[in-house]
Amino acid sequence: MDRKAANFVHSQAVSRDYISQPRITYRTVSGVNGPLVILDDVKFPKYDEIVRLTLPDGSQRTGQVLEVSGKRAIVQVFEGTSGIDAKNTTCEFTGDILRTPVSEDMLGRIFNGSGKPKDKGPAILAEDYLDIQGQPINPWSRIYPEEMIQTGISSIDVMNSIARGQKIPIFSASGLPHDEIAAQICRQAGLVKLPGKSVVDSDIDNFAIVFAAMGVNMETARFFMQDFQENGSMENVCLFLNLANDPTIERIITPRIALTTAEYLAYQCEKHVLVILTDMSSYAEALREVSAAREEVPGRRGFPGYMYTDLASIYERAGRVEGRSGSITQIPILTMPNDDITHPIPDLTGYITEGQIYVDRQLHNRQIYPPINVLPSLSRLMKSAIGVNMTREDHSDVSNQLCSYTSDCLLFELDSRGSIKNTY
């Protein structure tokens, strides 16, 4: 694409944020409930429409229409509702949906949960503005995930190999080193060089990582930033950070902004993108908070009944598309409350994804790192990522032998109470 065509595409992308028709400003806020603002007497409100709220002090906030009932609109405010005055707050309906600016220059940068730079660097010159909900992919156009992405962790690469385009979660729990494992994967991840493939296909410049952290504290956020910057992996990482003191509602859009960026890098820039999302439990908690504010009928353990569909709208954005050489591989990380794998969050995640990597507390207590238990771990697409012309001809045999050896090493002994004791 020459410079003239590039300037035209950029101007078209920017102009989509502006509507020539006059906008109507409302002062009809009838109530504030948690992260939600309720407006009455709105003329033709639209679902998912972006709303600009201007507070009495002149500050502006952004919201999105969550529910429409006649002339009433319920708006979720991304920056929180603290300080909103029902009488003096003005609301402007833009007529547009929530879009995020995307560019290849986003690699090596740090953004907040709303996609705004927070590394004190220059503003990103957007190459396009994309809907954060993503574009629907025709199932017929999807390609079966093949070829392997290496993580540098032997228990994953050898016994639970990950295919390009796969979605496989890490099941962890509070107090376990899932943050360290995620940082290690970012340091060591890369493409496996395949025989017969071009050098460009396995080149490091053809691989990128999109990392989104939701609800993390300052210490964890500082750990990720320092680790990526000190080991040199930051240049291939696009980092999104939603902190624990940020508005809860922001956690709902953070993974979608990250995945929209990944889709641009994969399908427009032809890169193989690894997306790491942590912690999906914080995302589900935010979803439950919004559902409670809307006074919806709760489901299991208070989570909304549509949580399965909502999680699927995130996980199913991984994959490969016919006609594009790029791919999106997802590794969502979630913490199981009370180490309960039957909790709704890991339970529903397991139905959607293609396997799981299980972080074991017993192994962690024995100072084993990474404490990945290979027996309950599973990669359902491993068979399409290993073998001849993929990794090694004997990869499957080696994996089976190690799994058998691990099983034989589990000694079951009867303790004094007659119960079964599992020792490694």
The CATH number for 84's domain is: 2.40.10.170
Query: Could you tell me the pLDDT band of residue 12, with boundaries at 50, 70 and 90?
Result: low
Q: Are 284 and 372 in the same domain?
A: yes
* Residue 414 in domain: no
Considering the chain, what percentage of its residues have pLDDT values greater than 70?
88
pLDDT in tens, 134-165: 888 888 999 999 889 999 999 999 999 999 99
C-beta neighbour count of 242 within 10 angstroms: 29
| Nearest C-alpha neighbor of 52 from the set 77, 33, 73, 74 | 77
Q: Are 203 and 227 in the same domain?
A: yes
Query: Could you tell me the pLDDT band of residue 21, with boundaries at 50, 70 and 90?
Result: low
pLDDT in tens, 219-240: 999 999 999 998 888 889 999 9
* Residue 13 in domain: no
pLDDT on residue 414: 37
Backbone phi, then psi, for 292, in 5-degree steps?
A: -65, -35
Q: Are 379 and 346 in the same domain?
A: yes
Q: Are 28 and 62 in the same domain?
A: yes
Distance CA 38, CA 67 (A): 10
Mean pLDDT of the 9-16 span = 60
Domain end (from 55, 81, 97): 97
Mean pLDDT of the 34-59 span = 89
C-beta neighbour count of 324 within 10 angstroms: 13
Q: Are 285 and 353 in the same domain?
A: yes
Q: Are 396 and 253 in the same domain?
A: yes
Domain with 83 in it: 23-97
* Residue 132 in domain: yes
Distance CA 22, CA 10 (A): 24
Q: Are 275 and 354 in the same domain?
A: yes
Domain end (from 97, 116, 148): 97
Highest mean pLDDT among 63-67, 245-249, 309-313, 388-392: 309-313
Rounded to two decimals, the pTM is 0.86
Q: Are 236 and 180 in the same domain?
A: yes
* Residue 152 in domain: yes
Mean pLDDT of the 101-122 span = 91
Q: Are 190 and 224 in the same domain?
A: yes
Query: Could you tell me the pLDDT band of residue 418, with boundaries at 50, 70 and 90?
Result: very low
pLDDT in tens, 83-111: 888 888 899 998 888 899 999 999 999 99
Residue 415 has pLDDT above 50, yes or no: no
* Residue 10 in domain: no
Domain count, the chain: 2
Q: Are 136 and 85 in the same domain?
A: no
* Residue 5 in domain: no
pLDDT on residue 413: 39
pLDDT on residue 309: 95
Domain end (from 63, 97, 131): 97
Residue 56 has pLDDT above 70, yes or no: yes
* Residue 17 in domain: no
Q: Is 323 exposed, middle or buried (0-12, 13-18, 19+ CB in 10 A)?
A: exposed
pLDDT on residue 192: 85
Distance CA 81, CA 63 (A): 10
What CATH number should be reported for the domain holding residue 268?
3.40.50.12240
Mean pLDDT of the 71-85 span = 87
Mean pLDDT of the 10-33 span = 69
290, 252 Cβ separation under 8 angstroms: yes
* Residue 192 in domain: yes
- Calculate the average pLDDT of the chain: 87
Q: Are 330 and 250 in the same domain?
A: yes
Instruction: Name residues whose C-beta falls within 8 Å of residue 421's C-beta, 6 or more positions apart in sequence.
Output: 412, 413, 414, 415
Q: Are 241 and 375 in the same domain?
A: yes
Q: Which value, to the nearest 10 degrees, does the dihedral of the CA atoms of residues 11, 13, 15, 21 take?
A: 150
pLDDT on residue 424: 46
C-beta neighbour count of 82 within 10 angstroms: 11
Range in 31-35, 214-218, 274-278 the model is least confident about: 31-35
pLDDT on residue 78: 85
